[in-house]
Amino acid sequence: MPRRRQSVTIKHVAADAGVSLQTVSRVINNEANVRPQMKERVQKSIDKLGYVPSIAARRMSGSRSYLILALNDRERTIADWRAREGSDWVDQMLLGGMLKCAEHGYRLMVELVDTHSDHVQRELRAAIAALQPDGVLLTPPHSDNRLITDLLEDAKIPFARIGSRVQDDAIALTMGDDRLAKRAVRHLVEKGHRRIGFIAGPKDYAISDWRKAGWMEAMAEAGLRTDKLCERGDFGFASGERAARKLLERRERPTAIIASNDQMAMAANAVAHDMGLRVPGDLSLVSFDNTPVVRFVQPPLTAIDQPIAETVARAVELLIAAKNGDELPPMPVVVEGELIERQSVSRPPSQLAAARANG
């Protein structure tokens, strides 16, 4: 292999504009101490020659790699991809992250690491050594993993935690999970529901507890009981079935269920049908996440939308700001989602019957 050289380098530009390399560098990096007239002349050469700086050379010499690393859980991500069940977390991450990166001349690289193994650190260290990213995006369930955050602090690489509330000097963003859970409860209460069940997510995801806490709080505020109304799943369909069955087989069964993610909500929907319950006539359903599939089940599910793209975009912005030494807003930053009404919520059966009797 021949030594491959850049076709147009800073040298060519400098020669063309008749200035030093440094002046060109200053123009590229938009630094002060360049006369407008000089700047314009250099810019003209840059445009003429179609010069674009080499990211590798910049990384070598300077303090920046212009790379943001998005860390995802290997096992879960690959399982989702293979299952082809329409989970679009990674797509939304790319949508928010790539476009925001591009605005700042950065690139986003996706990296998969094993959460549950001892070599998280080895894997992460290798990625850092190979790429020297300017920032790292931590997605659940990595966001609060001390093995990861300690390592990044050591390496002095800014990191942003999606779905985290840890308050320290690092960046953390949430999607307002607790408030959204409350929003879901209130929506159901307004429809007349009083026994609102909840299917919680696994404990290793912090968001699981926030969502549950929001449910409990809103229930308390509405003067409603929560005992025997909560079961825990693991975000998988099968666990959702088990949880839903338990809730629906209770003597006083809930008239509505909030599930902590879409798979478990769809499972609850399936169980309800199995048991001869109509959705939403006999059971109302609100799901969390609003992944693509919820529009395609029968009935289409009312869901809490997670603004993943927006959150990731904000995270990238903060990461770059941190790298630039800019001041950051108080943490955690909240990018709140919203309730999307579809057709899985109605008034509870008793009220529907009353309405029919009166009408």
Is the backbone peptide bond immediately before 332 cis, with ω within 30 degrees of 0? yes
Residue 186 touches which member of its own copies, DNA, none, C-beta under 5-8 Å by kind: none
Q: Candidates 58-66, 165-173, 182-190, 270-278: pick the segment binding its own copies (CB under 8 A).
A: 58-66
DSSP string computed for 40-72: HHHHHHHHHHT----HHHHHHHSS---EEEEEE
How far, rounded to the nearest angstrom, does the alpha carbon of residue 346 sit from its chain's CA centroid? 30
Number of residues that bind its own copies (CB under 8 A): 59
CA end-to-end distance (rounded Å), the chain: 84
Q: Which is nearer to DNA, 38 or 110 (CB)?
A: 38
Distances (CA, A) of 51 to 11, 29, 32, 60, 141: 10, 13, 21, 18, 41
Contacts of 157 (CB under 8 A, 6+ apart): 128, 133, 134, 135, 136
Mapped onto helix, strand or coil, the DSSP state of residue 349 is helix
82 binds its own copies (CB under 8 A): yes
The answer to whether 314 touches 280, Cβ cutoff 8 Å, is no
Q: Which of 16, 25, 303, 308 binds DNA (CB under 7 A)?
A: 25
Q: Candidates 24-32, 179-187, 221-229, 231-239: pick the segment binding DNA (CB under 7 A).
A: 24-32
Residue 26 touches which member of its own copies, DNA, none, C-beta under 5-8 Å by kind: DNA
28 binds DNA (CB under 7 A): yes
Dist. CA 310–CA 336, nearest whole Å: 9
33 binds DNA (CB under 7 A): yes
54 binds its own copies (CB under 8 A): yes
Beta strands in the chain (DSSP E): 67-73, 107-113, 135-138, 159-162, 171-174, 196-200, 230-232, 256-259, 284-289, 302-305, 333-334, 338-340
Q: Which is nearer to its own copies, 203 or 296 (CB)?
A: 296
Based on the number of CB atoms within 10 Å of its own CB, is 107 exposed (0-12), middle (13-18) or buried (19 or more)? middle
The answer to whether 213 touches 181, Cβ cutoff 8 Å, is yes
129 binds its own copies (CB under 8 A): yes
32 binds DNA (CB under 7 A): yes
Q: Which of 15, 39, 41, 95 binds its own copies (CB under 8 A)?
A: 95
Q: Which is nearer to its own copies, 66 or 198 (CB)?
A: 66
Dist. CA 250–CA 357, nearest whole Å: 27
Q: Which is nearer to its own copies, 99 or 352 (CB)?
A: 99
Q: Candidates 47-55, 113-121, 151-159, 239-247: pick the segment binding DNA (CB under 7 A).
A: 47-55
Q: Which of 15, 94, 328, 339 binds its own copies (CB under 8 A)?
A: 94
22 binds DNA (CB under 7 A): yes
The answer to whether 200 touches 212, Cβ cutoff 8 Å, is yes
Residue 33 touches which member of its own copies, DNA, none, C-beta under 5-8 Å by kind: DNA
135 binds DNA (CB under 7 A): no
Based on the number of CB atoms within 10 Å of its own CB, is 282 exposed (0-12), middle (13-18) or buried (19 or more)? middle
Strand pairing report for 171-174 and 196-200: unpaired
Q: Which of 15, 43, 58, 105 binds DNA (CB under 7 A)?
A: 58
By CB under 7 A, name the binding residues for DNA: 1-3, 5-6, 9-11, 19-26, 28-29, 32-35, 38, 51, 53-54, 57-58, 60-64
By CB under 8 A, name the binding residues for its own copies: 1-4, 6-8, 50-57, 59-60, 62-65, 78, 80-82, 84-86, 88, 90-92, 94-95, 98-99, 107-110, 112, 122, 125-126, 129-132, 155-156, 291-293, 296-298, 309, 323, 325
